């Protein structure tokens, strides 16, 4: 995709990007233009993200999650419902179930991020969505706590490729003056999806059975999993678009061979000669890769991790995100149940769903547009993150102090509106404080961190806290106060020296020799000619 001219208006940028197909992987397809345009790509990723988080909301809904059976002092007993009732789960086990996906996500996210440097990222998304679909079907067929827990872990494996690579794709192809707004549109699907999951899970659980909620999700995701394999793969800035079986070793071997050949032009028979030379070098390189190649990739991954962990801007951003997600994760899982117990809501799923949908849409979009209006920069992003989170925490704490439902709803709605305004800015910082080739790994480590230290422990810990204090109002107030910690951490980010590295040159850009020496993840025809080095 051509670089946008800085003097063009936003409208001209959008019109050009809507009309112009995105750059695709020439070696895996014909020379016909890609079907993708930036807005089509954004729309598809938004729907996938929505389905993913509908699943999160559904398993937390009262209709799917259910409750344990109870018995009164008089001896009257009622049977349990949903997953908790069918499998007789304690609150701790119930909380663990909501976090089981993190095991798969933790293991698979760094792997997918590393593979994106040698395999086509678009195909990796297709692999991930296929695993996700099969795992969700397994959730609907589970028969006890361990079987559904294992399936939830596999859901995390399937999600890993998408969450690592979708945002960099969007960041690459969004209009220059609206990058944060486009990211906001994508991340708007998180609260909206969770909220729809509350409503969807409640309806399916009440009228059918909780198992059908998972099976229907799989039906909706299946076309997108297939889509990831059959459509022309797109290139991602800073990454090799296709797999290199010979890694950097083959490139080093190929380069001197080409230099020694007497090739004056890359056309006609000369192009074939060059390709033959490169193919010959590729065979030699593949013989010598073996264990050395694996060690080389692991060494490169370690170096990338060291760079991330030493980046103060990245670390502060992720630490604030962890504290923030600790609260949001517990809200999303325990919110309907807490609302039902504190305010005796008969329709807690629906009410929390509606509040989260409305506030999630307007809050997330507002955060993106406000940052674009302020001037999208890392420093401005930290200002918005700290201010919005601090004000949101005040409103949410005030809401839980009210005894009346009518006082709770407006205050909690304003609090959620402010809290959700952080989604686009926090991911903007994550994408722009590192080199282009490290964005997938940065997103993967960020996602793993906010889950393993954030919403994964928060759900069971809140369950333990509630078992101890036996008062949902006190539990909610203690939980909400952690948002002040997140605001304080992001406040530190304002004073750090930050540089936007989106346009920074990268050593991992694909060279002409590398392109000729690679092939797609799932096979396909080799390119018949070497790309023009001057092609943008």
> What are the distances in angstroms from CA 68 to CA 81, 87, 340, 412?
7, 9, 15, 28
Predicted pLDDT at 298: 72
Phi, psi of 514 (to 5 degrees): -60, -45
Highest mean pLDDT among 155-159, 389-393, 523-527: 389-393
C-alpha 336/C-alpha 331 separation (Å) is 8
Residue 461 pLDDT > 80, yes or no? yes
Predicted pLDDT at 12: 46
Listed range (81-90, 243-252, 341-350) with the worst mean pLDDT:
243-252
Mean pLDDT (the chain, rounded): 76
Listed range (26-40, 90-104, 165-179, 346-360) with the worst mean pLDDT:
26-40
Predicted pLDDT at 355: 83
Residue 19 pLDDT > 90, yes or no? no
Give per-residue pLDDT as tens, 303-338. 888 888 899 999 999 999 999 999 988 887 787 778
Residue 243 pLDDT > 70, yes or no? no
What is the model's pTM?
0.68
Predicted pLDDT at 339: 79
C-alpha 65/C-alpha 80 separation (Å) is 10
DSSP string of 358-426, one letter each residue: HHHHHHHHHHHHHHHHH---HHHHHHHHHHHHHHHHHHHHHHHH-SSHHHHHHHHHHHHHHHGGGHHHH
Give per-residue pLDDT as tens, 261-310. 444 444 445 544 544 544 454 454 544 555 666 677 677 778 888 888 89
Q: If you average pLDDT over residues 135-163, what whole number do you get?
A: 89
Q: Name the residue with higher pLDDT: 461 or 535.
A: 461
Residue 188 pLDDT > 60, yes or no? yes
Q: Which two tokens stand for residue 433?
A: 């404080």
Predicted pLDDT at 10: 47
Give per-residue pLDDT as tens, 427-452. 999 999 998 888 888 888 898 888 88
């Amino acid at each position: 995709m051509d670089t946008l001219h800085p003097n063009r208006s936003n409208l001209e940028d959008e019109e050009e990007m809507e009309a112009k197909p995105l750059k695709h992987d020439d070696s895996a397809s014909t020379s016909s233009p890609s079907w993708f345009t930036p807005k089509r790509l954004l729309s598809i990723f938004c729907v996938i993200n929505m389905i993913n988080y509908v699943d999160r909301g559904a398993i937390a809904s009262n209709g799917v999650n259910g409750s344990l059976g109870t018995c009164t002092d008089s001896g009257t007993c009622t049977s349990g419902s949903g997953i908790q009732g069918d499998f007789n789960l304690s609150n701790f086990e119930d909380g663990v179930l909501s976090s089981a996906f993190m095991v798969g996500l933790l293991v698979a996210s760094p792997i997918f991020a590393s593979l994106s440097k040698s395999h086509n990222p678009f195909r990796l998304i297709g692999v991930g969505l296929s695993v996700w679909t099969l795992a969700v079907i397994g959730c609907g067929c589970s028969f006890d706590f361990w079987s559904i827990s294992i399936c939830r872990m596999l859901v995390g494996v399937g999600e890993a490729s998408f969450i690592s690579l979708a945002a960099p794709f969007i960041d690459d192809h969004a209009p220059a003056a609206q990058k944060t707004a486009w990211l906001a549109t994508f991340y708007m699907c998180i609260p909206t999806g969770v909220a729809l999951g509350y409503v969807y899970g409640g309806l399916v659980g009440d009228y059918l059975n909780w198992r059908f909620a998972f099976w229907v999700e799989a039906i909706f995701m299946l076309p997108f999993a297939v889509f990831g394999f059959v459509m022309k793969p797109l290139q991602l800035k800073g990454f090799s678009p296709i797999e290199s079986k010979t890694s950097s070793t083959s490139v080093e071997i190929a380069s001197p061979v080409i230099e020694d050949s007497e090739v004056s032009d890359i056309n006609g028979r000369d192009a074939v000669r060059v390709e033959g030379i490169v193919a010959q070098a590729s065979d030699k390189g593949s013989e010598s890769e073996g264990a050395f190649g694996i060690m080389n990739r692991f060494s490169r991954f370690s170096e990338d991790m060291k760079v991330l962990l030493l980046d103060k801007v990245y670390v502060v951003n992720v630490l604030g995100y962890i504290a923030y997600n600790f609260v949001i994760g517990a809200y999303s899982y325990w919110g309907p149940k807490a609302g039902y117990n504190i305010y005796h809501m008969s329709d807690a799923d629906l009410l929390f769903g509606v509040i989260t949908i409305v506030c999630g849409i307007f809050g997330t979009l507002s955060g993106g547009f406000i940052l674009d209006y302020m001037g999208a920069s890392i420093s401005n992003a930290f200002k918005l993150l700290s201010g919005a989170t601090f004000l949101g925490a005040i409103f949410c704490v005030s809401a839980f102090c009210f005894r009346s439902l009518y006082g709770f709803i407006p205050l909690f709605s304003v609090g959620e509106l402010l809290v959700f305004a952080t989604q686009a800015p926090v991911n903007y910082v994550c994408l722009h404080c590192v080199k282009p080739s490290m964005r997938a790994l940065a997103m993967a480590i960020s996602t793993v961190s906010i889950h393993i230290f954030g919403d994964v422990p928060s759900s069971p810990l809140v369950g333990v806290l509630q078992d101890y204090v036996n008062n949902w109002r006190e539990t909610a107030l203690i939980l909400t106060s952690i948002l002040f910690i997140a605001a304080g951490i992001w406040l530190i980010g304002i004073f750090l020296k930050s540089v936007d590295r989106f346009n920074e040159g990268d050593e991992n850009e694909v060279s002409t020799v590398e392109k000729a020496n690679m092939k797609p993840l799932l096979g396909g025809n080799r390119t018949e000619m070497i790309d023009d080095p001057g092609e943008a």
